């Protein structure tokens, strides 16, 4: 589904990703762990096409297409989704309007007619229940005045609405209390299917108790320095990253 070969990326002239390789297949959940500043968020930003980052080398193939040549909106319609570490507040744009526009753009790309208002609301109510999102929130402006937990649930709600092929969860567990973490993780697990895949970026093992990864990668200084099964996360939790750095 996703193939990254020798990816290099920088921000303001400073290289952050330094020759990264990664292969993700349908049905897999990959966890990417690593210390602060190792390039985890940069990787997710580059994959979804954040213009603040510059790709200086390498290639990324997503569903047979050259991802790096696509606009951010086209990547989304192709089935890529990022759950933002810091979801953005958009005063004045209602959640309903925002999601309806997004869903209908996705339908347009697939050659489908826009949803009627009634159908859209029905689907929305259905998906809201996945993350137990307060029904009043969708009438508010996007993320405006949402608590930290509500923002993260809202990300997973959007993921449910857009039904991506590959979802990247960038520190979705940060800022969540234990109950919220369980709700968000349950939501994510409900969305897991054999034909889609996920990248879970996290600092901590605890999210991986809920979302079981097939593969765990350790990112350090812009490269993946170790790859293993889910037991690697437990080992990291115990020994810290220094254990890898000096090995």
Partner 1 sequence: MQQYTDFFKSQRQKIDEACPPLLNSFREKAFDFFQRTGFPVYQSENYQHTDIADLLKTDFGFYIGHYKIDINPYRVFPCTIHNLNSYKSFLVNGRYYEESVPGLPQGVFSGSLNDFAREYPLVFAKYYNGQANAKGDGLAAFNTMFVQDGYVLYIPENVTVEKTFQLTNVSGGNIDSLTNRRILVILEKNAQAKLLVCDHATDEKPVLAATQVMEIYAGENASFDFYDLEESSLNTVRLTANFVLQEAASSVTTNTITLSNGITRNNYQADLSGKQAEIRLSGMAVADVQQKIDNFTCIHHHVPACRSNELFKYVLDDEAVGAFSGRIIVAQDAQKTVAYQNNRNLLGSSRCRMYSKPQLEIYADDVKCSHGMTTGQLDEKALFYMRSRGIPFTEAVLLLKSAFTSDVIKEIRLESLRDRLKFLVEKRFRGELIKCQGCI
Q: What's the min distance (Å) between Cβ of 106 and partner 1?
A: 5
The pattern of x and - marking residues 130 through 169 that bind partner 1 according to CB under 8 A reads -----------xx---------------x---x-------
Residue 92 interacts with partner 1 (CB under 8 A): yes or no: yes
**Shorter beta-carbon distance to partner 1: residue 64 or 92:** 92
Choice from 77, 137, 188, 236 touching partner 1 (CB under 8 A) = 77
Distance CA 12, CA 15 (A): 8
Choice from 12, 14, 36, 51 touching partner 1 (CB under 8 A) = 51
Residue 82 interacts with partner 1 (CB under 8 A): yes or no: yes
The encoded tokens of residue 117 equal 């208002």
Question: How many helices and strands (H and E) does the chain possess?
Answer: 9, 12
Choice from 20, 38, 60, 106 touching partner 1 (CB under 8 A) = 106
**Shorter beta-carbon distance to partner 1: residue 187 or 213:** 187
Choice from 63, 71, 182, 240 touching partner 1 (CB under 8 A) = 71
What is each CA distance from 31 to 80, 88, 214, 221, 244, in whole angstroms? 17, 24, 8, 17, 17
CB-count exposure of residue 139 (10 Å: 0-12, 13-18, 19+) = exposed
CB 101 within 8 A of CB 114: no
For residue 68, count other CB atoms closer than 10 A to its CB: 17
**Shorter beta-carbon distance to partner 1: residue 10 or 76:** 76
**Share of the chain residues as helix, strand and coil, in percent rounded to the nearest 5:** 40, 30, 30
What 3 state SS string does 25-47 have?
A: CCCCEEEEECCCCCCHHHHHHHH
Instruction: Name which of residues 172 to 201 contact partner 1 (CB under 8 A).
Output: none
Choice from 26, 54, 55, 98 touching partner 1 (CB under 8 A) = 98
Residue 117 interacts with partner 1 (CB under 8 A): yes or no: no
Residue 115 interacts with partner 1 (CB under 8 A): yes or no: no
Determine which helix (DSSP H) or strand (DSSP E) holds 154, and give its type and residue range: helix 148-162
Q: Which positions lie near partner 1, rule CB under 8 A?
A: 48-51, 71-73, 75-77, 81-82, 84, 87-93, 97-98, 101-102, 105-106, 109, 141-142, 158, 162
């Amino acid at each position: 589904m996703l193939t990254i070969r020798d990816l290099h990326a920088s921000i303001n002239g400073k290289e952050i990703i330094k020759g990264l390789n990664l292969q993700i297949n349908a049905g897999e959940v990959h966890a990417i762990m690593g210390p602060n500043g190792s390039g985890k968020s940069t990787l997710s930003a580059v994959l979804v096409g954040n213009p603040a980052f510059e790709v200086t080398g390498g290639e990324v193939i997503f569903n047979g297409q050259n991802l790096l040549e696509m606009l951010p909106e086209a990547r989304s319609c192709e089935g890529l989704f990022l759950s933002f570490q810091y979801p953005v507040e958009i005063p004045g744009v209602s959640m309903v309007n925002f999601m309806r526009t997004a869903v209908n753009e996705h339908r347009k790309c697939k050659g489908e007619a826009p949803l009627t208002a009634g159908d859209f609301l029905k689907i929305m109510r259905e998906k809201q229940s996945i993350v137990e999102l307060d029904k009043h929130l969708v009438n508010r402006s996007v993320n405006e005045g949402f608590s930290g937990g509500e923002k993260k649930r809202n990300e997973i709600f959007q993921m449910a609405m857009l039904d991506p092929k590959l979802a990247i969860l960038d520190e979705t567990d940060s800022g969540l209390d234990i109950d919220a973490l369980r709700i968000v993780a349950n939501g994510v697990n409900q969305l897991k299917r054999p034909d889609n895949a996920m990248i879970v970026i996290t600092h901590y093992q605890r999210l991986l108790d809920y979302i079981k990864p097939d593969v765990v990668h350790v990112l350090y200084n812009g490269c993946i320095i170790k790859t293993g099964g889910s037991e690697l996360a437990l080992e990291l939790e115990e020994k810290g990253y220094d254990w890898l750095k000096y090995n």
